[in-house]
Structure 1
Amino acid sequence: MTEPIRDRLVTVRRHLHRHPEPAWREFYTTARLVEEIRAIGVNELAVGPDAYDPADRMAVPSDDEIDFWLERARDRGADDALLERMSGGNTGAVAVLERGDGPAIGLRVDIDGLFVEEATGDGHVPDAEGFRSEIEGTMHACGHDVHMTWGLAVLEAIAESDFAGRLVVFFQPAEEVGGGGCPMARSRFVDDLDYLLAVHVGLDHPSGEVVAGIEKPLAMCHVDVTIEGTSAHAGKSPNEGDNAMHAMGTAIENAYGIPRHADGMTRVNVGRAEAGTASNVIAERAHLEAEARGETTELMEYVKGRLERVVRSAARMHGCDAVFDVISESPRADSDPELVDVVVDVATGLHGTDRVVPTADFGASEDATFLMNRVQESGGLASYLIVGTDHPTSHHTPTFDVDEDALDHGVSVLVETIGELERRHPVSNAENAAEDG
């Protein structure tokens, strides 16, 4: 019999930490999750295209990239049948427990890693204790290894309890590129959910602290821009060229001049740019990657629209053409006060809790907001929790790590919150819908 996950939280987290995979390439990760979920025993387990419509995915990488990571997962021992089901980059899973009449509760955890080379040296605990990333240039630098471990442990705890209702755990791919929340939010598994819990570790909240619900996550979009010009000899006939690099420079400068908005916070950033082939050639092609954010979805749309106008105007100014592609985006969603109050009550009385913060501004972006919005629009409640952990450096850095005491603490917060929702819930949305029909 498999040892309970609650008794091996550190082992599970460290194994997942050693095998990080980027967005839509989480093949080995999904296979390991499926292995654990099957051992727990659930009523339904949907993997990849059975968990969502692949057409709803955003920020999907090239076929070559996908195939490279699939073969890497095969070499690491991932199940061939599962890899076949996930072909084309359809990773992730949804696990469902049906336990009779009661509330329908969703839990969303994310599973992808980042393109960050993990640190070495005795000062970095994963390296010193032998669980540093084994995949060069890729790392769990945002705690998703912790989130997955929580998801598995909560699923197991509820499966073994006398919980009455339905629990749906979303093991969501591609959060770091904002690509996986939308397809899972549009899936049938979100239908009739009464409650949705999403969760993150750390985010500058120390060990022992719990934030019961975030507010003001920034709506976000990722953008790819290609500018096409005309090449020419830079010395002999520069006037015959249309300089895509010059157009790109104009676009970047003007992007940072987009006016801020009176209605709230806005952000714009060009994070990557490249152009040209040689010093004596007028560049005929340029590429840049940028993002727009806003305190509300409407403010993000404002910045996105201005950014597109800036790019196209800069291209025309220099005789070039521009292609402006929105690769992914996510809306704003705030935690519901009624659900925040439940988490506050639960977390306050738990072992390991030193401080409960009812709400906190998020300040970044998250595609769990797609699921939150879907549940809220259907009459349910959603909250995005933070379970604190001491981390030596910030998220998305080579030396990021967690205080592993947060593993058990996070499981307790989530399991007890689910149990409290069951006790307080009078009737499910599904039953209400049946009565209305």
Structure 2
Amino acid sequence: MTFPYEVTAMRRDLHSFPEAAFLEYRTASIVAARLTELGYSVRVGPEIMCMDDVCGLPSQEDIHSAQSAALANGAAAYWLEKMPNGQTAVCGEIQRGEGPVLALRFDMDALPVHESASGNHRPVVDGFASKCEGRMHACGHDGHTAVGLALAEKLSHPDAEWKGTLRLIFQPAEEGGRGAQPIVSSGLLDDVDIFLATHVGCQLPSGQIALTADGFLWAEKWNVTFTGQAAHAAMCPEEGRNALLAAAIAIPGLYALPRDGQSDTRINVGLLQAGRTRNVIADHAYLELELRASTHEGLARLTASARRTLQGAALTQGVDATIDVYGTAISAASDPDVMERLRDAVCFTNGGSIVQSWPIGGGDDATFMMQRVQDRGGKAGYCLFGSDIAAPHHASLFDFDETVLQTAVMVLSRFVELSS
């Protein structure tokens, strides 16, 4: 199968086939194949992921299903065989003389969101809406991957003016904060001198570029299971232990936790599943939630309070509560040197108007990569490419102004040249 190389066409192709975290087999196959064609040395899966640090790995059934779907939609079996057990990370590396080691991160995963079928939704109008029921690129990662591949092509050209080692990292499972740490633990970033991650949108208008994202939130993602005892709801309810009721008590308790005077905090329960049928005391309930704070100390206080709330709710019904940490994210700050190179790159390419910093209002586990590079003496940054969006990130009507794609390629290309 031939895949489009032009950046907008590639974005639209990827948008049509969204893949969830650690299941990005079609996307990773396209990336690996294209990087190989361009002359990059390609490493995938176990070569660049430490599985001891993977949280929330999909079931083997889901992995096999994703692999089969990827093959049916044009993925190469050669690459899929090199990515067992959800290990879908890809790294392309190319060397050009003496110089620094430069690394850029591009995330690939989609979200469990049903894309809108509205006649006003541009992906529907232009024929590139999701073909995968219940999954959608609702955060712009299709654009990030397309930019990464277009950048790979531009910088592989003999006329590209850079020296050193260029490492392009295509990361799985950014959503939920699960994909970066296994890559970090593999040692892939240990010799990196300059690292950069990017994002499109984030409420930054088209035509603007933020030299850094401000306000990354520390975060933990939890899966919580309440386990009780089933019983007939009319004949012997006293013999049951109601897991559903424990969850129902816990949720308003979580939202009622007091605000923190020293840290901005967020909490959200995004999924509740419980019970089996109307006349049986529910013996099982399952929650997915996330906790965020602007400081590490604030997150520690919030998680301690949340644990007490969940265990207290379980105690009221005599059920057990198990908390599994599903993903994490930390805060990080861009180095001034990286920001200045970005400023020069934007000015040189007339890429847009410059914003010094922009509040991201969330998290990205690329911060683990930033921290590793900085801890080992390198410089790291995170910039935002403004793009008008049709609806908020993670919404079913999300879409972004695609003119940002070519802008990002031009600015990042110049950034690499200035950093070498």
Question: TM-score, normalising length from structure 1?
Answer: 0.91
Task: Give yes or no for contact 1:119–1:399 (8 Å, CA) kept in 2.
Answer: yes
For 1:408, give the aligned amino acid: Q
- CA distance in structure 2 between the aligned counterparts of 1:290 and 1:317, rounded to whole angstroms: 21
Residues 161 and 417 in structure 2, CA contact (< 8 A), matched pair in contact too:
no
1:62-102 per-residue CA deviation (whole Å, 9 max, x = no partner) reads 11111111111111231112112112111120111122221
Secondary structure class of the residue paired with 2:86: coil
- Provide the C-alpha distance between the structure 1 equivalents of 2:242 and 2:11, rounded to a whole number of angstroms: 50
User: What's the secondary structure of 1:130's corresponding residue?
Assistant: coil
Say whether the 8 Å CA contact 1:168–1:189 is kept in structure 2: no
Hey, what does 1:285 align to over in structure 2? 284
CA distance in 1, matches of 2:13, 2:80: 19
Which amino acid is the alignment partner of residue 15 of structure 1? D
Distance in 1 (alpha carbons) for counterparts of 2:343 and 2:374 = 20
Distance 1:24 1:173 in 2: 6
CA displacement at 1:122 relative to structure 2 = 4.2
Please identify, of 104-113 and 330-339, the stretch whose mean Cα deviation from structure 2 is larger: 330-339
Query: Equivalences for 1:121-132 in 2 at 5 Å?
Result: 121-132=118-129
Contact 1:147 1:201 in 2 (8 A): yes
Q: Give 1:52-67 correspondences, 5 Å limit.
A: 52-67=49-64
Distance 1:208 1:255 in 2: 40
| Structure 2 contact 99–164 (Cα < 8 Å) conserved | yes
Question: How far 1:239 moved relative to its partner?
Answer: 2.1
Shift in CA distance, 113/359, structure 1 to aligned 2, threshold 3 Å: same
Q: CA deviation at 1:332?
A: 1.1
> In the alignment, is residue 51 of structure 1 matched against residue 52 of structure 2?
no
**CA distance in 1: counterparts of 2:311 and 2:134, whole angstroms:** 34
| Matched-pair identity in % | 37
Correspondent of 1:385 among 363, 383, 386: 383
Which residue identity does 1:388 align to in structure 2? G
Residue 398 of structure 2 is matched in structure 1 by: 400
CA distance in 2, matches of 1:4, 1:309: 52
Is 1:105 aligned with 2:102? yes
The answer to whether residue 327 in structure 2 is matched with residue 337 in structure 1 is: no
Question: Match of 1:247?
Answer: 246
Question: In the superposition, relative to structure 1, how do residues 99 and 285 fare at CA in structure 2: closer, same or farther (>3 Å)?
Answer: same
**TM-aligned CA distance change 1:269 to 1:120, over 3 Å:** closer
Q: 2:137 aligns with which of 136, 140, 143?
A: 140
Whether 2:113 is the aligned partner of 1:119: answer no
TM-score for the superposition, normalised by structure 2: 0.95
Residue 270 (structure 1) shift: 1.4
Q: Counterparts of 1:196-215 in structure 2 under 5 Å?
A: 196-215=195-214
In the alignment, does 2:381 pair up with 1:376? Answer: no
2:324 — aligned with what?
325
1:277-305 deviation digits (Å, cap 9, x = unpaired) = 23322222211111111102332222122
Counterpart residue number, 1:85: 82
What amino acid is the match of 1:143? G
TM-superposed deviation, 1:416: 1.0
The farther-off stretch of 53-62 and 25-34 is: 53-62
Q: Is the 8 A contact 2:119 2:125 kept in 1?
A: yes
| Partner SS, residue 322 of structure 1 | strand
Please, which of 37, 40, 43 is the counterpart of residue 38 of structure 2? Answer: 40
Between 255-264 and 92-101, report the one with greater CA deviation: 255-264
Counterparts in 2 of 1:122 and 1:318: CA distance versus 1, 3 Å = closer
Give the 3 Å change call, closer, same or farther, for CA 122–274 of structure 1 in structure 2: closer
3-state DSSP of counterpart to 1:249: helix
Displacement after TM superposition at 1:274 (Å): 2.2
The alpha carbon displacement at 1:317 in A equals 2.5
Q: Quickly say closer, same or farther: Cα 1:314–1:405, change in 2 above 3 A.
A: same
CA contact (8 A) 2:351 2:410 kept: no
Offset at residue 121 of structure 1 (A)? 4.6
Matches of 2:155 and 2:333, distance apart in 1: 26
Partner of 2:416: 418
> Aligned-pair distance for 1:233?
2.3
Contact kept in structure 2, 1:226 and 1:324, CA below 8 Å: yes
For residue 112 of structure 2, give the secondary structure of its aligned residue in structure 1. coil
Task: Give the secondary structure class of the aligned counterpart of 2:99.
Answer: coil
CA contact (8 A) 1:59 1:178 kept: no
What stretches of structure 1 of length at least 5 have no aligned partner?
A: 423-437
Does structure 2 conserve the Cα–Cα contact (< 8 Å) formed by 1:335 and 1:383? yes
Equivalent-residue separation in structure 2 for 1:268 and 1:177 (angstroms):
14
Contact kept? 1:118, 1:132, Cα under 8 Å = yes
Q: Is the 8 A contact 2:217 2:295 kept in 1?
A: yes
1:356 to 354, 357, 363: 354
Could you tell me how far apart the structure 2 residues matched to 1:397 and 1:253 are? 24
Alpha-carbon distance in structure 2 between the residues aligned to 1:401 and 1:256: 30
Q: Which structure 2 segments of 5+ residues have no match?
A: none
Tell me how far 1:117 sits from its aligned partner: 2.2
From the superposition, tell whether residues 165 and 266 of structure 1 become closer, same or farther in structure 2 (CA, over 3 Å). Answer: same
Does the 8 A contact of 2:107 with 2:173 survive in 1? yes
Return the alpha-carbon distance in structure 1 between the equivalents of residues 26 and 365 of structure 2: 22
Aligned to 2:19: 21
List structure 1 segments (4+ residues) > 4 angstroms apart after TM superposition: 2-5
Q: Which residue of 1 aligns with 2:293?
A: 294
| Equivalent residue, structure 1, for 2:308 | 309
Q: Name the amino acid aligned to 1:209.
A: Q
